[in-house]
A = this chain, B = another copy of it.
Amino acid sequence: MSVKIAKNSGFCFGVKRAIKLALAASQKYNNAVTLGPIIHNPQMVNKLQKNGIEYVNNLEEIKNRPTIIRSHGVTREVLNELQKMDIDIIDATCPYVSKTQVYAKELHERGYQVIIMGDKNHPEVIALRSYVDGGTIIAATPDELPAKKFLKAAIISQTTRNITDFQNMVSALVPRCGELLVVNTICNATSIRQKSTLKLAKESDLMIVVGGKNSSNTKMLAKICDKFIETYHIETEAEIDTNWFENKQKIGITAGASTPDWIILGVYNKILKCLGKEEQQVESVELIPGFKEE
């Protein structure tokens, strides 16, 4: 009898990393702040607050406290201001986001008209555009592209966008560009999460999918599992019914992109309890004995 959690369940690599860095900062300092909420998840923001990490909305509110840059990154101007302050900076910018910023700067320097596919009001895109001196074009869909031709254009994407949308954008640009450099900066966390979930579903007798009932990425995980095996989509451990596990040997768990680790762990431990097994006292899914080997 086994209970396994799918690799890449829940938060993506960049968010997990940012939270680890923030929690490490809470050990080192007693007054660190994050510039903006670390992620758009109130439960996680509360958890950090309990660990002594407040969030501030702007540079003025920092007041010389150690400052954590969240996974979206910050504009070049904000980074400059932070560096002028006499404070420790903990840069939790997602490495994939940082890489996109490096690309944006370099492509502009190489003479390309930089085009960013993304939402112009999203913090990641606001930060990203600051790395290009001069006119960046930002468009979420081909309709938002300006009606002009480009001798040399380069397109990059907000990391969380969909590859199909990116393909459509590139396709719309091809006839308008003499030379078009396409740099695929889309992070495949979502597709990787789906693949890991599918792999586990194929090896399991039952799948438990954890995440908001309205979360579209969680519903997609449930749909993927449901094609292969009996599947339950739950929000928390409270919904678990012991009867589900009768005559089941291999239980699989997966979780949507906005499900914090402790909710996944709650579900994991509740299932162990239903099966009469010993609960795991760990803080992170990755710390469950045997997790790495799966």
Q: A: which residues have CB within 8 A of B? A: 163, 166-168, 170-171, 174-175, 177-184
Residue among A163, A166, A168, A181 with the highest chain B CB neighbour number at 10 A? A181
Residues from chain B with a CB closer than 8 A to the CB of A163 are: 174-175
With A167-B171, A171-B167, A171-B171 as contacts: A179 and B181 at CB distance below 8 Å: yes
Which of B175, B178, B182 has a CB less than 8 Å from the CB of A180?
A: B182
**Can you tell how many copies of this chain the complex includes?**
2
A-B contact pairs, 25 of them (CB 8 A): A163-B174, A163-B175, A166-B174, A167-B171, A167-B174, A167-B175, A168-B171, A170-B171, A170-B174, A170-B182, A171-B171, A174-B182, A174-B184, A175-B184, A177-B182, A178-B184, A179-B181, A179-B183, A179-B184, A180-B181, A180-B182, A180-B183, A180-B184, A181-B181, A182-B182
- Nearest residue, chain B, Cβ from A177: B184
The docked-state distance in angstroms from the alpha carbon of A181 to that of B184 is 11
Nearest-CB distance from A184 to chain B (Å)? 6
